[in-house]
Amino acid sequence: APQPQRPRLGTVALASGAAWVLAGNDTGVMVTASPRLYPHMWSWDAAFIMVGLAQLDVDRAAREMETLLSGQWADGMIPHIVFSEENGYFPGPDRWQTAVVCEHAPARPHTSGICQPPVHAIALRKIVDAGRRRSGADRRRAESLLRTSWPRLFAWQRWLATYRDPLGTGLIAVTHGWESGMDNSPRWDSAYAAVRPGSNLPPYVREDLDKVGDEGERPTDAEYDRYLWLIEEMRRVGYRADEIVRTGSFLVGDVFLTALFVLSCEVLAELGEEANQPEEQIALLRHWAARSRAAVLDTRDPVTGMARDYDVRAGKWVSVPSIAGFAPLLCGGLDPRQQAEMVAVLEGPDWMGHPDLVAATPPTVSPSSPQFMPKQYWRGPQWPVISWLFSWAMRRGGLDDTAAGIRAETLRLASDGTFAEYYHPLTGAPLGSLSQSWTAAVVLDWLY
Ligand code: 2M8
């Protein structure tokens, strides 16, 4: 296999570099997702950032959770962006106008009007565990964060279960590709093809293109028109959750997000038991987890066995060879034979074991597929944060060997010390933003 050309860092230098990136991106109130491309707090980035911060400084990690929750909407939604005072990102608060048109949105901090995958309970678990490993002040800080944030995270899971289950099966739906976190994944191509930007889409100027090495690493203008059109639709209905699900032009049951919802419900239920939270709420979390786990398993393609998204507007399954197909390995529930088969596919020649990969860690699209685009954002590159998620969930699910392999190989990729947002699977070249906080954070957690 080809080898990456950059110098490799040893463990100590890599861990120090990761801590340095988090410190450099820290405004004091939030660690921004990256220094230039994303100068604000993103919802799921913040959760992974807390996982890294928990290893360095329990109080700082706890404050990150508090900053994120200061942006939570009155109905329970955790918005996908909590804005800093920085400029340089589009769409910013002026475009979203959430507090202007929606009574649930906080006036301050400014927030966006959509959500992102629920991984925050995992972050709370990590902070609580880190606090308990230490003593005195750290432990008290973590226990008090557990008491204050548990009801908020419960409200967030309830929001998803209430507003985002349009089929009533437990398959949680997204109303914008950005909500999935995998913005331009081929998973969304067919649903976006049906989104027709109106001629009254207010004009805009992108701010992302000059902040990466090559514009080809980012989504196209045609994709951006659709991203902005969906926001325009939502703004016009005052970001009313039920109305967006009823009338918006994009509504897809997201199998990957649903698997993360299952994991978060379970982790939150465990934390709730430890902290004596209300039994009926814990029972609800377990109920949602069971229902949504069954929904994830029900999406499997009868021929390939891979999990699929469901386009609610078009009324059809979406079969794309993306990493989301392995969602059952995140949330569990397969019988042992089916699970071994799915792991074998993941480790096999169409995925991690593809002979042309520099590192045997999951690419976002199968390199054997015609849809694979090795440097294009969510259309093929390897994302360390996604590898961390699989590794963490697989370890929890007893798949220790696969989890350890993903960890080792992703660390090898990331030992170039750039902490890139994503990597070129065939060359190991760093892509997108460098010094991306969540990459640094998951590396830190792995090295701890
Ligand atoms: C990317 O998404 C934002 C929009 O939310 C963007 O491209 O401007 C995605 O990779 C998303 O998953 C991530 O949370 C965000 C910040 O890292 O960047």
The string of DSSP letters for 366-388 reads -TTSTT--TTSGGGS-B-HHHHH
* Ligand 1 contacts CB of residue 441 (under 6 A): no
Q: Which residue reads 């994709």 in tokens?
A: 223
Q: Are 275 and 146 in contact (CB under 8 A)?
A: yes
pLDDT at 2 over 90: no
pLDDT at site 212: 93
183 is catalytic: yes
Torsion angle of alpha carbons 146, 150, 151, 157, nearest 10°? 170
Give the DSSP per-residue string, 68-119.
Answer: HHHT--TTS---SEE--S----SS-HHHH-HHHH-TTS-SSS-B-SS-----
Q: Where are the domains of the chain?
A: 11-447
Please state the φ and ψ torsions of residue 382, each to the nearest 5 degrees: -95, 130
Q: Is 166 in the pocket of ligand 1 (CB under 6 A)?
A: no
Q: Mean pLDDT over all residues of the chain?
A: 97
Rounded Cα distance between 115 and 415, Å, is 32
Please tell me which residue in 233, 409, 421, 445 is annotated as part of the active site: 421
Which residue(s) pair with 423 in the sheet? 382, 430
Tell me which residue has tokens 């230098």: 13
Distance separating alpha carbons of residues 375 and 219, to the nearest angstrom: 11
Q: How far apart are CA 98 and CA 85, in angstroms?
A: 16
| Cβ–Cβ < 8 Å for 128, 248 | no
Residue range 391-416: mean pLDDT, rounded: 97
Take residue 113 and report the two structure tokens written for it: 């009007």
- Ligand 1 and 422: CB distance under 6 A: no
- Determine the average pLDDT of the residues in 147-157: 98
Question: Which residue minimizes the CA distance to atom 13 of ligand 1?
Answer: 181
Pocket test for ligand 1, best of 38, 115, 376 (most atoms within 8 A of CB): 38
Closest ligand 1 atom, residue 436 Cα: 17
Question: What's the rounded mean pLDDT across residues 217-226?
Answer: 97
| pLDDT tens string 159-200 | 999 999 999 999 999 999 999 999 999 999 999 999 999 999
Q: Does domain 11-447 have CATH number 3.30.465.10?
A: no
The finding on whether 89 has its CB within 6 A of some atom of ligand 1 is no
CA 129/CA 122 separation, integer angstroms: 11
Per-residue pLDDT band for 230 (boundaries 50, 70, 90) equals very high
Q: Which residue among the candidates 75, 183, 217, 266 is catalytic per the annotation?
A: 183
Query: How buried is 74 (Cβ within 10 angstroms: 0-12 exposed, 13-18 middle, 19+ buried)?
Result: exposed
Section 3-13 average pLDDT = 79
Distance CA 27, CA 31 (A): 6
Please state whether the peptide bond connecting residue 109 to the residue before it is cis, i.e. omega within 30 degrees of 0: yes
What average pLDDT does the segment 285-298 reach? 98
State residue 252 phi and psi, 5-degree precision.
-130, 130
Q: ipTM score here?
A: 0.99
The pLDDT assigned to 6 comes to 66
Relative to the CA of 218, which ligand 1 atom is closest?
7
C-alpha distance from residue 48 to each of 267, 368, 409, 439 (Å):
15, 30, 19, 9
In the predicted structure, residue 415 carries a pLDDT above the cut 90: yes
Residue 178 Cα: closest atom of ligand 1:
5
CA distance 444 to 192: 36
Please name the residue whose Cα sits nearest to atom 4 of ligand 1: 178
Q: What is the pLDDT of residue 135?
A: 81
Query: In this predicted structure, what is the pLDDT of residue 438?
Result: 98
Q: For residues 283 and 299, what is the distance between their CA atoms, to the nearest angstrom?
A: 25
For the cut 90, the answer to whether the pLDDT of residue 312 exceeds it is yes
* Cβ proximity of 428 and 6 under 8 Å: yes
Of ligand 1's listed atoms, the one at least distance from the Cα of 433 is 17
Q: In this structure, which long-range contacts are made by residues 66-72, counting pairs with CB atoms below 8 Å and at least 24 apart in sequence?
A: 66/145, 66/149, 67/29, 67/30, 67/41, 68/30, 68/41, 68/43, 68/120, 69/149, 69/152, 70/106, 70/109, 71/41, 71/106, 71/109, 71/111, 72/106, 72/152, 72/155, 72/156
Residue 224 in contact with ligand 1 by CB distance below 6 A: no
233 lines ligand 1 (CB under 6 A): no
Q: What is the 3-state secondary structure (H, E, C) of 296-328?
A: HHHCCCCCCCCCCEEECCCCEEECCCEHHHHHH
> In a 10 Å sphere around its CB, with 0-12 CB exposed, 13-18 middle and 19+ buried, how is residue 281 labelled?
middle
Does ligand 1 come within 6 angstroms of the Cβ of 33? yes
Task: Using a pLDDT cut of 90, give the percent of the chain over it.
Answer: 98
- Tell whether the model's pLDDT for residue 5 goes beyond 60: no
